[in-house]
Chains A and B, each alone.
Chain A
């Protein structure tokens, strides 16, 4: 306990350097940068509005009080729980303020006016997010708590979206226009990422086991898979289009199955190829980590080599294999975005459409769900690997 007091006392006396940096950046953003941008339609340049201009007096005051409390907590409080609470309260306040600004600036029934969050909002959100992230990191939450925090955050955000809190903001305007397509592309995105992952597990797991058993194969096989990894996604998609197109032209059955040079097929094949290396390499690494004594003991008990593989080796190697699967899933969710370029669908469709129209709202409509998906996949699989790793010991 004595070391702990020694650590906390000086921290209380002087300012927390990270907190000071975040509070300063947040204060500058709140005072000098536009909180929202008002556009009379989707194309024209926007008209910046400050926090005080867009909210009713009591709302602006409340929001500022909460932000000042968060800043004080960042500067003076060392207890991570308090810091996390203050940061999350700040996030909620800023989000509600931007939603209220959207409501206040949109004339009733007007569907042309666009209210986008401005630079001030984003900087504030990043500062508060960093504060929350830092506090969470210092709390060292276990795997269960991490998943719970993620689930609660997503549920709160989802409820707010479903309730229509943000309906007057530009991103949600884009969503309202594209609602049915959004559901379809999101399903396609998840389907492509998970489908290629499943296929890759079916192939890479046996390959990894084989490479473990036959060391001569190892460098050749893993080296080849490594070369595939270095080929840029769009290039591999392009390269695969030619043979798949030829296959569809030559084999009517392939065409009937939906295999074509353009569309989801080359994307799925490319993602599958990219997924092989991390899973195969981690299978080899995981199996290498299995203690020789465990295998010997199992053999002494009269287990067959198949029983040893499925009952001992794979179970013990599972955490490492799962880490490989996590890498692949996060990577796939990101790469499916590029598939939109070759007609493969997915949320990337909105991203590239948005780039084409310089409509950042449309880009965000694609990019935010992609990042959320990838982040959630990483948190959940990390937690799972940690739980399994603990169970193993």
Chain B
């Protein structure tokens, strides 16, 4: 089974790179989907540039939400922030019922069109999974381990940095992975508000009734999401394994 998975993974990556670097060589494949001689490959921009812009947007937002969410997660699980814990839990639950599109839609009229509303919406929506997983991870640290750490004379700060956070890392990474994957999808919708990204290709296809464009945009975003998800899952497994070996 791992052999098959590795081959599939490699094939998907090769396909994605080949398409982004030499899109024109795929033209015959997409030609049957177009009508009235419309271009079979997206020609209103460089696909590679769009894909990188898309990824950049998602990663910037994810980096920002990771810093804020992990920070907040640490604050509410310390004794001084315990008052905020029940509320933060409930807020995470309520927040998950907000569709990402609604967050995006409400930001646009407030800050205008372009990258800004998409970045804000991706940041805000990305906070939730990371925050939730940070809280759960920090709260489920085995009490014996924490007591042992205190017994060794560790200060609260040392205990957090060298015991709690390393133990919490796999779950926090899972939260980051979830929020990245959700955000790759939401960033596509960002193109409806003029953010640069792969959604442009899909929207162009929807507007000009060109199924080839829609399929290209969809496949590239889908492949990117799957590969990213898979890569991060691999990273998590590796970290878990080293954590268990030690």
Contact = CB atoms under 8 A, between A and B. Distances in A.
Contacts, number: 146
Given A239-B218, A354-B109, A355-B108, A232 B188 contact: yes
A18 B84 contact: yes
Contact of B99 (A238, A242, A352, A371): A371
Contacts of B219: 235, 239
A241 B206 CA distance: 10
A231 B105 contact: no
A7 to B, nearest CB: 12
A334 interface: yes
Interface string A241-280: 1100100000000000000010000000000000000000
Interface in A283-336: 330, 333-335
A371 B125 CA distance: 14
Contacts of B87: 18, 130, 133-134, 137
A365 B84 CA distance: 32
A253 B213 CA distance: 27
A89 B139 CA distance: 35
Nearest to B182: A232
A117 to B, nearest CB: 13
A234 B86 contact: no
Given A18-B83, A235-B221, A367 B105 contact: yes
Contacts of A138: 86
Contact of B226 (A18, A230, A238, A261): A230
B202 A238 contact: yes
A352 B185 CA distance: 16
B222 A230 contact: yes
A53 to B, nearest CB: 23
B222 A236 contact: yes
B205 interface: yes
A333 B101 CA distance: 11
Contacts of A18: 83-84, 87
A234 B189 contact: yes
Contacts of B102: 334, 337, 351, 367, 370-371
A374 B93 CA distance: 12
A43 interface: no
Given A232-B184, A236-B218, A358-B108, A374 B99 contact: yes
8 contacts: A234-B185, A235-B217, A235-B222, A238-B206, A330-B96, A355-B105, A355-B193, A363-B109
Interface of B: 1, 33, 83-84, 86-87, 89-91, 93-94, 96-102, 105-106, 108-110, 112-113, 181, 184-186, 188-189, 192-193, 199, 202-203, 205-206, 211, 214-215, 217-219, 221-222, 225-226, 229
